Amino acid sequence: MRKVLVTGATGGIGRAICSELAEDTHLLVGGRDPEKVTELVASLPSAEPFIVDLTDESALENACAQISELDGLIHNAGIAFVKSVLETSHTDWEQMFALNVISTADLTRQLLPVLRKAKGQVIFINSGAGLKASPGWAAYAASKFALRAFADSLREEERGKVRVSSIHPGRVDTQMQVAIQASMDRPYDPGEHLQPSSVAKAVRAVLDASAEAFIGSLSIAPLI
């Protein structure tokens, strides 16, 4: 049974990924909230907790040291907010990049040796904002463009050793998306968004690619 770590596993997309993979995958359930992580682990047939603040360099290093084998790493944790450039503070920029980029790079670096041994896969859950920036999304889009650049470089560095993929979902029906739309004073219609399960199915398609192939980049968007 393959072993896969999912960060941000207790959120909407993370839970959907865990549910999609649960039948044939041993899951490392990543999150900061012990109660939520424990609850999700208990609901899965084969899982264990990976409880750590990804932005805490020392804690992350200690947590990764406990992992001796791994077939897949799914970077799903992240934050998002909508602010104009004028409204976005120095701290906002630091927080956005700390979780969306720097911690992702740190976690990847820590786990590359075990992923190489397994000829494993790294999947970045990026965003449509990692392909095109819009007004109000400067900080978020900048972090996702940076994440795409990181994934592209990693893919070429690890070619033949570790498969690297980026998935770019459009709007997804999650609590994060509800909060984003509320911050812009927009009415929320779930029917205008992707379901988390659709993103999870895209993750499975990438993970299940045959051994001689990989999906470098995949964009998935709502019809409306």
Which two tokens mark 1?
């049974």
3-state secondary structure of 66: coil
- Could you read off the pLDDT of 39-91 as tens digits, one per residue? 999 999 999 999 999 999 999 999 999 999 999 999 999 999 999 999 999 99
pLDDT tier, 187 (very low <50, low <70, confident <90, very high otherwise): confident
What region does 119 belong to: left with phi over 0, alpha with psi -120 to 50, or beta? Answer: left
Which residues face 75 on adjacent strands? 124
Question: Among this protein's residues, is 140 annotated catalytic?
Answer: yes
pLDDT at 159: 97
Catalytic choice (137, 140, 145, 150): 140
- What is the overall mean pLDDT for the chain? 94
Q: Write out pLDDT tens, residues 90-147.
A: 999 999 999 999 999 999 999 999 999 999 999 999 999 999 999 999 999 999 999 9
Using the 8-state DSSP alphabet, how is residue 194 labeled? B
Q: What is the pTM of this model?
A: 0.94
d(CA 75, CA 133): 21
Residue 20 — pLDDT band, cuts 50, 70, 90? very high
| 174 pLDDT more than 90 | no
How many folded domains does the chain comprise? 1
Identify the pLDDT of residue 170.
86
Instruction: Show the domain range for 48.
Output: 2-220
Q: Domain of 211: which CATH number?
A: 3.40.50.720
Position 192 confidence tier, pLDDT thresholds 50, 70, 90: confident
